[in-house]
Structure 1
């Protein structure tokens, strides 16, 4: 396998092959979904006011990962039935005998509008782990997160409730 890539480690070649396969399968799936989607007249009439950040770190590099400096150029109006903002993060980590806590290294980050989104992470491998994580949200410009962990909209409400419930016991 390293004959085609003589200067790359075998684990890096496997990572590149896996990520390429995942990216191509998601494009194929999106194409098939678009061809089979049917809408009722009421669904077709509803206006789509959603805007999301749309970029790919493979093309835009660090600017896609760090929206604080260049996020405005990636704002796009979503069209048709694409009513969900999404972030997909592809990363990997390598564990050796001496490492106890491997660091995830970013391979690719994609932000987009979509019509179907399944949040969560898929992890493959043991010593070299590949992570494909997806985060979904439904408000305009909400796809700013970079971590790829499931995004919880109500986390601040839960924290507030915990503080209010624990306050009588600490007084």
Structure 2
């Protein structure tokens, strides 16, 4: 019985050690980007296509047209824009039996400071999709905005995950002792 009490105490201590620091230090976590002097001095010679289908029409959507001149859509990126991006908005409609194929609503090509590739969707019968693709070479944003179905998160907090593992271990131990020691 004393062994079980010691394990419960250790589990509780691990829970406190994992929970309190993350709450205390949350105020210090920001989205600010610190750049060294070498990164600040980096010369940006990136060019991206810049257009929107809402303003520039379907020529912005389809870069496979061989006889169209896209040179007026080329833009020099600003000093802090190191990524070319394509963002596509599309939708599908469905009823009990049929779902339509995706129809593009809008597409945008531009330079960007930050870019998170991937897709997300909202809705039930009318489903809206927002997909983003990113690239880092000049004039690379010629695609249709398709992105991988699953993009692993870059912001995984390993400390938080390890705390959850400890908590789950303690919960499983407490649950298992109900059946083993009776």
Provide TM-score, normalisation by structure 1.
0.62
SS in 2 for 1:42: helix
Give the superposed CA RMSD.
2.0
SS in 1 for 2:70: helix
Alpha-carbon separation, structure 2, partners of 1:86 and 1:147: 8
Deviations 1:134-163 (A, max 9, x none): 000111111100152339xxxxxxxxxxxx
**Closer/same/farther in 2, CA of residues 134 and 62 from structure 1, 3 Å limit:** same
The number of residue pairs the alignment matches comes to 116
- Larger Cα-atom Rg: 2
Contact persistence 1:87–1:136 (CA under 8 A): yes
2:170 corresponds to which residue?
none
2:108 corresponds to which residue?
110
Q: 1:144-159 alignment to 2 at 5 Å?
A: 144-150=142-148
Deviations 1:16-58 (A, max 9, x none): xxxxxxxxxxxxxxxxx8xx66643322211111111011111
Q: 1:1-171 alignment to 2 at 5 Å?
A: 39-67=35-63, 68=65, 69-99=68-98, 101-150=99-148
Alpha-carbon separation, structure 2, partners of 1:38 and 1:147: 29
Aligned-pair CA distance for 1:76: 0.9
Contact persistence 2:92–2:102 (CA under 8 A): yes
> Which blocks of at least 5 consecutive residues in structure 1 are unaligned?
1-32, 152-171
The one of the two structures with greater contact order (alpha-carbon pairs below 8 A, sep at least 6) is 2
Aligned-pair CA distance for 1:79: 1.6
SS in 2 for 1:61: helix
Aligned-pair CA distance for 1:71: 2.0
Alpha-carbon separation, structure 2, partners of 1:51 and 1:127: 39
SS in 2 for 1:113: strand
Alpha-carbon separation, structure 1, partners of 2:95 and 2:43: 52
